[in-house]
């Protein structure tokens, strides 16, 4: 789905390199943009460096903080937290500089408006939730919008619904044996849950967009069937 994001294109404009050209190469420093070759990468450098340098700096900071944490995990983490404290990061003070560095990295990435940048930001956000289910940095608020920007509406809905029906005050955020973000293929046509366990305005906005897209898809499908009432199930699916 094309949501206005540059994806699989040379980032120097104008450029005749086509969509998903197999010869595009990523910027080695930030990985968030692609180019058809060195000439266009060099030509685009004055514009791109404003975004690229902060991404590289925050990424280096993540690497630095990870090395510090692995070398000095603190007395409260029972050794290497990457082995023993997954899901509980931030509960331990020694992990917080590392978590903050990763959050800053996501913020820097989202200054780039490409599909590649959004994919990286989403992957990073989901991994922060894996490391800290309690989400003290509020990363969850960004996730539904990132899914939607990539056209992954079903995953956005599943994510929103998990927090709506399971993320209540009784959920043990330190209970690593409990299921977490495990809903898949939920019915996005169902009625909106009026009193969700977790309320966030970003979730409400994302849910509204999902419902609007569903409505527009159905309206479009109705118009298609009026023109072609005998369309097969496969033709209907392909149209949507």
Q: Where are the domains of the chain?
A: 153-239
C-alpha–C-alpha distance, residues 40 and 72, integer Å: 43
Cis ω for the linkage preceding 14 (within 30 of 0): yes
Tokens of 82: 């990457």
Q: Read off the pTM.
A: 0.90
pLDDT on residue 17: 67
pLDDT on residue 205: 96
pLDDT, one tens digit per residue, over 174-227 is 999 999 999 999 999 999 988 888 889 999 999 999 999 999 989 988 888 888
pLDDT on residue 1: 45
C-alpha–C-alpha distance, residues 141 and 170, integer Å: 20
C-alpha–C-alpha distance, residues 208 and 196, integer Å: 15
Instruction: Name the helix (H) or strand (E) containing 35.
Output: strand 34-35
pLDDT, one tens digit per residue, over 23-32 is 889 999 999 9
pLDDT on residue 19: 58
Question: Max Cα separation, the chain?
Answer: 70
Residues 6+ apart with CB under 8 A from 128: 99, 102, 103, 106, 135, 137, 139
Per-residue pLDDT in tens (0 to 9) along the chain, 240 residues: 445 677 888 898 888 765 556 788 999 999 999 999 899 999 999 999 999 999 999 999 999 999 999 999 988 887 899 999 999 999 999 999 999 999 999 999 999 999 999 999 999 999 999 999 999 999 999 999 999 999 999 999 999 999 999 988 889 999 999 999 999 999 999 999 888 888 899 999 999 999 999 999 899 888 888 888 887 878 777 766
C-alpha–C-alpha distance, residues 5 and 117, integer Å: 10
Query: 25 phi and psi, to 5 degrees?
Result: -125, 145
> Residue 74: is it exposed, middle or buried by C-beta count within 10 angstroms (0-12/13-18/19+)?
middle
């Amino acid at each position: 789905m094309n949501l206005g994001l540059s994806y699989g294109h040379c980032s120097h404009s104008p450029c005749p390199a086509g969509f998903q050209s197999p010869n595009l190469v990523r910027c080695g420093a930030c990985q968030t943009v692609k180019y058809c070759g060195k000439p266009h990468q060099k030509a685009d450098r004055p514009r791109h460096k404003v975004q690229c340098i902060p991404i590289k700096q925050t990424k280096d900071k993540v690497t630095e903080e990870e090395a510090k944490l692995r070398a000095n995990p603190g007395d409260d983490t029972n050794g290497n937290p990457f082995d023993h404290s997954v899901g509980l990061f931030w509960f331990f003070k020694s992990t917080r500089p590392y978590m903050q560095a990763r959050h800053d990295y996501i913020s820097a990435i989202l200054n780039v408006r490409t599909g590649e940048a959004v994919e990286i930001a989403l992957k990073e956000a989901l991994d922060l939730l894996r490391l800290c289910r309690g989400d003290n940095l509020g990363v969850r608020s960004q996730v539904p919008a990132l899914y939607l920007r990539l056209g992954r509406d079903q995953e956005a809905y599943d994510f929103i619904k998990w927090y709506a029906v399971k993320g209540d005050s009784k959920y043990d955020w330190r209970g690593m044996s409990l299921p977490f973000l495990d809903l898949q293929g939920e019915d996005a046509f169902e009625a909106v849950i009026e009193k969700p366990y977790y309320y966030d305005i970003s979730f409400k906005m994302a849910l509204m967009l999902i419902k609007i897209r569903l409505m527009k898809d159905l309206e479009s499908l109705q118009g298609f069937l009026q023109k072609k009432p005998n369309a097969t199930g496969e033709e209907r699916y392909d149209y949507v």
